[in-house]
Structure 1
Amino acid sequence: MIETRKLNVQPTLSRPDDFYNALVEMHRELSEEQSRLANAKLILLLANQIGDEETLEEALKIAAEGLNKPTVF
């Protein structure tokens, strides 16, 4: 596990279920392509809100932790 330096990974949402439901609702009736685009837009909006590149780089590493990346030949 990556040791965090700047990124707060502790729960801070006062109503996480409400956020999850809103996220699911945002995707309702979207095509797979539209859903991916909505996720990309959301990520970029939140990254802009955070604004700190070191924190964002840490978040990228944590998000990718444990995922199997395909081998590129």
Structure 2
Amino acid sequence: MTALMTESRFPDPDRAYRVLIEAHRGLSDEESAALNSALVLILANHIGNQAVLQEALALARQTMERTQDATG
């Protein structure tokens, strides 16, 4: 079974982050959400492993919930 890799695999993680942010520049909230949805589906297909996808989704939910708890 392939485990979810959570450490950065980018040689320049800050650049990768900027590319993601730049992709949203000029988009409305709805367009930004649509871009995120399309990207998630594309990357989920690239992963191609149900267990890894489920682990990634669970981690994303946990991260989101921790952020919401810390801010609200």
* Band the TM-score falls in, shorter-chain normalisation: 0.7 to 0.9
How far apart are 1:15 and its partner, in Å?
1.2
Please name the residue that 2:41 is paired with.
44
Name the one with the larger helix percent. Answer: 2
TM-score (structure 2 length as normaliser): 0.80
Task: Mark the structure with the bigger radius of gyration.
Answer: 1
Q: Which runs of 5+ in 2 are unaligned?
A: 67-72
Q: Which runs of 5+ in 1 are unaligned?
A: 69-73
| Aligned residues between the structures | 64
TM-score (structure 1 length as normaliser): 0.79
- Supply the RMSD in Å over aligned alpha carbons: 1.6
The answer to whether the aligner puts 1:61 opposite 2:58 as a matched pair is: yes
Measured against aligned partners, the alpha-carbon deviations of 1:7-52 in whole angstroms (never above 9, x if no partner) come to 0111211111111111111100000000000001011111110000
Structure 1 residue ranges (4+ consecutive) displaced by more than 3 angstroms after TM superposition:
none
